[in-house]
Structure 1
């Protein structure tokens, strides 16, 4: 498969979207009884299902990140039931978001998946891992927090910005990048422009009236009736946590408090980045993911 990355000199990587699978992917629909889940699928290989952030729809993933993942994996992005272009009754508990992943995986004929999640999607991915471990081979968590109560909370600036009806570039810098770093600001603009490339078959915006479903899921995730916090400390499923030095939403310190307790989790903290490191450094984050997955496969074979 032709790479979507072109090297123009020793210091720059230019995104060529001409043959981008992510930009040109078609929205498909999984008919699941009384609900319909909108999804896109690109690439070949072991399937990885990515769970989205607060307010995120199919168009809110950086296509460069998806294209790079698709060089080694079958990448599935989707909308939760009842949100954006998916239909059905909206969820109230995080377990219902996790069931979307399980049902979509079954619909697509996957026996095992790598489950990934960004931000709120990381909550979903962890509940998939703890409640449906039979379908999960590995777990990738980006810019998220562990289940249950945590000591290190979201910064007020994030909350003020996250609930604006529409985001501009400066809002995105605050929410997903490191506003104190000029280099991060530059890469924020590049990611913003890549996300805007897609012109046809664009997804439906998630309306303000639907934001409450994420808040309800957050309350449920914090109350943790699933005992997921204890379960992730005991799971043998390999989990990779990718976080940031300037993580305005879910500080990595919450993971550090579990560092000596979690058996199968590796934590990476990237400097001068924010809540969306995969959008700032798609090549680097993809390499971390690929190396983590391949390393664990080799260990499994060795044992």
Structure 2
């Protein structure tokens, strides 16, 4: 996928990719922890882009984008808003995966008239406690100096024969002999992301109550055996969002959208409509 760059009014030059296109609002993809736009599953992206325009963007300090990665989710959302304004877009749909789901929620709260529909994948509401990725074996694997294919398989796919098979297929679709999930994501950047995720999860009862302000139709989706973000967080989101539908993928992990890339792409297309 060919990459482009645009300089926003804040002076930051953001790297992005646009693929597909029709008269519907574009779907903006917001990436997960330690991921540049190179880590999106091309099979998933192309399937969604067959029905509508898709935009992938690296936030400030991530991948080839300029600037420093913020240490708070609201600041990350401000950077995405600056990017959207630079493109001259008046309305978008948002797909936020994991950390990107935090940013999507914050962005929709900051400028609700901009966001038509939301897809929240493998993510959590603010203030509901630290995610599984912040402790234990998952934290150790996610914060290694260099991540390898085995770490990727553990973090994104269930430890079953089916999960491993799907994980290996995903790695092959990425198109690199030794997939590197922190490709073009510096330690300074992903540590800032970790700080932002920690702050987002800090217990705060007001966090869940803010979800009532998100009136956009929202698809909440999660893998049943997610080791990064508890599936209970998806249930919390769906229970407190006023206009949400929930889908939990059985025998799937944090990377359910790559494990079941065809099915989930079709779910998104049907949900977003025209």
Asked if Structure 1 and Structure 2 have the same fold, meaning a TM-score greater than 0.5 normalized by the shorter chain, the answer is yes
| Runs of 5+ unmatched residues, structure 1 | 1-24, 298-303
CA contact (8 A) 1:42 1:76 kept: yes
**Residue number in structure 1 paired with 2:11:** 34
Q: Distance in 2 between matches of 1:222 and 1:30?
A: 32
Q: Which has the larger radius of gyration?
A: 1
Query: Could you say which structure has the greater relative contact order, defined with CA pairs below 8 angstroms and 6 or more residues apart?
Result: 2
| Runs of 5+ unmatched residues, structure 2 | none
SS of 1:231 mapped into structure 2: helix
Note the C-alpha offset of 1:260. 3.9
SS of 1:123 mapped into structure 2: helix
Q: Distance in 2 between matches of 1:116 and 1:195?
A: 20
SS of 2:53 mapped into structure 1: strand
Q: State which drifts further: 136-145 or 162-171.
A: 162-171
Q: Distance in 2 between matches of 1:87 and 1:259?
A: 35
**Residue number in structure 1 paired with 2:209:** 230
SS of 1:73 mapped into structure 2: coil
CA contact (8 A) 1:148 1:229 kept: yes
Number of residue pairs aligned between Structure 1 and Structure 2: 266
How does 1:1-303 map onto structure 2 within 5 Å?
Answer: 25-32=1-8, 33-45=10-22, 46-150=25-129, 153-154=132-133, 156-179=136-159, 181-196=160-175, 205-223=184-202, 228-257=207-236, 259-294=238-273
Q: Specify whether residues 94 and 159 from structure 1 end up closer, same or farther in structure 2 by C-alpha distance, changes over 3 A only.
A: same
CA contact (8 A) 1:43 1:71 kept: yes
SS of 2:240 mapped into structure 1: coil
CA contact (8 A) 1:233 1:263 kept: yes
